Amino acid sequence: MLRNTLATLGKSATRRSYSDKAAAQSLAEEALKQKTGGQFKATLPKGDKKPAKAAGAKDSYWKSIAIGTGATTGALMGGLFYYGRPFADGREDKEMHQPMWDQLLPDPLPEPYRRPYTLVINLDETLVYSTWSREHGWRHAKRPGVDYFLSYLSQFYEIVIFTSQPAMNAMPILDKLDPYQYAMYRLYRDGTRYVDGQYIKDISHLNRDLSKVIIMDSNPHAFSLQPENGVALKPWKGEANDQGLLEYIPFLEAVALTNPTDIRPVLQSFGDSHIPEEWAKREADMNEQHRQQWLAEQQGKPSNRNLGSLLRGGGAAGAPEGPPPTYLEQMRAHVRETFAQEHEAMKGQPLMPPGQEQQQPGQGQ
């Protein structure tokens, strides 16, 4: 009896011990599962290493740290650059959009070397025309009459070639275009203003009296700040028989010979008309007035007929056939003759008629 009782108590204790052990193990596994983010026991690290966190939780943690650090650093750097930047007065914009120098040209030459007027003229599609091909690359053609235009007008004008090209591109072209340097100065892109995607040639920076400055450009927007000084030229596209430059010589020549105190009202008087054509009409009208005045003077003079003239069958002795040249015609003839002689003495060859000595547009420089 006692033996049976002891056996029963032993079995009961064994069952309770197994049940308690299973319960304890179940509780431990549940706690471990919560701590490791739901990983199975088979995936846990072996040995006495601590269980690792879930991959998603680890990446999210470090990503949060990285984003927070980056945002803080960016905010600090942005504040440093904004509040601690060296130029807070707009000078960086001025350097990008204003000419590099306040005065683009040196002071005028002293007398008698000073020219009375300054002629600013564009390069592209005014003096040269540039084309590019895969076979030949860049090729540049001189406009017909450009040699005569520059050389002849250099007597009267301080010529400035002003291009919106960078200096490194334009200098080789200008060296071939003007080997005798009839153009006294050359200005490049760094002398322009950049406004609304356009390069503006602000001639107020030339260090010259604007009442004595003429700017000629194939792009009227280039002189939009001083339109009263501007002459808009038709762009030259490489036409072989173009006379666009040469036809302006009589007008520019007359300006220099008559010496107006302010060129701006003279230019504005032409309005939108083509200056060479309008000037030719005005000069023809002046010549006609001169002729009519001379005829009136001749009609008021007494006849000087004598026996010798009657025997010869002539009219009045020594009577001129027409009016004498006007002052402008006399000065023009004198200046052109002097220039031709000096040109021949300098180059050792006679002056060619304008346009005949020019390189044709199809030939590259």
315's CB contacts (< 8 A; 6+ apart) are 305, 309
Contact 219, 121 (CB under 8 A): no
pLDDT at 332 over 80: yes
Q: Cα separations (Å) of 30 from 25, 39, 40, 54, 86?
A: 9, 11, 10, 16, 63
Q: What is the crossing angle of helices 146-153 and 249-258, to 10°? A: 0
Q: If you average pLDDT over residues 155-161, what whole number do you get?
A: 97
**What type of residue sits at position 314?**
G
pLDDT at 21: 54
Residue among 195, 170, 169 at smallest CA distance from 96: 195
pLDDT bucket at 206, cuts 50 / 70 / 90: very high
Question: Is the whole-model pTM more than 0.85?
Answer: no
Q: What share of the chain is helix, strand, coil (3-state, %, to 5)?
A: 50, 10, 40
Bridge pairing between strands 185-187 and 157-162: parallel
Which one of 72-81, 84-93, 345-354 scores highest in mean pLDDT? 72-81
The residue extents of the domains of the chain are 117-289
**Second CATH level (architecture) for the domain 117-289:** 3-Layer(aba) Sandwich (3.40)
Contacts of 239 (CB under 8 A, 6+ apart): 361
* pLDDT tens digits along 160-188: 999 999 999 999 999 999 999 999 999 99
- Residue 255 pLDDT class (50, 70, 90 cuts): very high
What the block records as the tokens of 152 is 């002849």
- pLDDT tens digit string along 280-330? 999 999 999 999 998 888 887 765 555 444 444 444 555 567 889 999 999
Segment among 9-23, 87-101, 221-235 with least mean pLDDT: 9-23
Residues 6+ apart with CB under 8 A from 295: 323
Are the CB atoms for 258 and 328 separated by under 8 Å?
yes
* Contact present, 132 and 364 (Cβ < 8 Å): no
User: What percent of the chain has pLDDT above 90?
Assistant: 49
